[in-house]
Amino acid sequence: MKNIEFIKMHGLGNDFVIIDHSKNQLELPQKEILKKIGSRRFGIGCDQILIINSDDQSNAKVTIFNNDGSEAGACGNGIRCVASYLMEKQNKNKIKIQTISGILQCWIEDNNCFVNMGKPIFKWSKIPLAKEFETQIIKIDNYDLFCLSMGNPHAVIFLENLKELDKIDIETLGKKIQNIDIFPESVNVEFATILDDNSIRMKVWERGSGRTLACGSGACATLVAANKQDLSLRKNDIILDGGKLTINWLENDDVIMSGEVTLVFKGNFYYD
């Protein structure tokens, strides 16, 4: 029987299994093993699995998988968790992490972990969408979907108020939108509204993971979509089911995300 050392962490309830490859010295787990690790009934249980492939003290290379075993392009909360783990391990306060979507700069400030998620992508072929549309907003049924990429595809829907947001069947509508052929690589679907204090309340249905308590890249996409529609300033708090993230869309177009991360436990996962 084989075993894998792992770390369990979460950012606002968005939870992750982190595997430090330098400790395990083994091949990447196959998809069926990843699915078992991600299962809350037959494994450890998580939204995503992040594998640290290399760590040379200033840069790390990370591969990200959803709990269904599919590879993910970006995971802001997961990257913040990995960054926090590596910075504590190396006694540093900043690090660069390479992902399939690019190199992300991370740092610690005032007990929060920050990540520069890069610039939002609006070009239809890069999101990607199946074809070009006249506007950034696609209408499906009675909903307006603001489409963009934050290293992975997002469709953001704004509801009129909190009552309307709470009425939405996140699973049914999220699955329906993900299966529309407009999104050839599926899509993360965010449902949001502006609160009385002008902060943003958001719920999410993630591709490959389903309903999660928080989504970092989704929070970034929501802030950008809100600002582009004159609903928010370029910096705002995003209130998710698991807590609060602060998103700052800088004037150079980089999107900075910050919030808390938590180490839950460490252990070994055994498999045949």
Task: Enumerate the active-site residues.
Answer: 75, 215
User: CB burial class (10 A; 0-12, 13-18, 19+) of residue 18?
Assistant: buried
User: CB burial class (10 A; 0-12, 13-18, 19+) of residue 87?
Assistant: middle
User: CB burial class (10 A; 0-12, 13-18, 19+) of residue 222?
Assistant: buried
CA–CA separation, 187 vs 207, rounded Å?
A: 6
146 to 78, 90, 149, 156, 216: CA distances (angstroms): 24, 40, 10, 5, 17
- Token digits for 235? 């910096």
Helices 76-90 and 216-228 pack at an angle, to 10 degrees, of 130
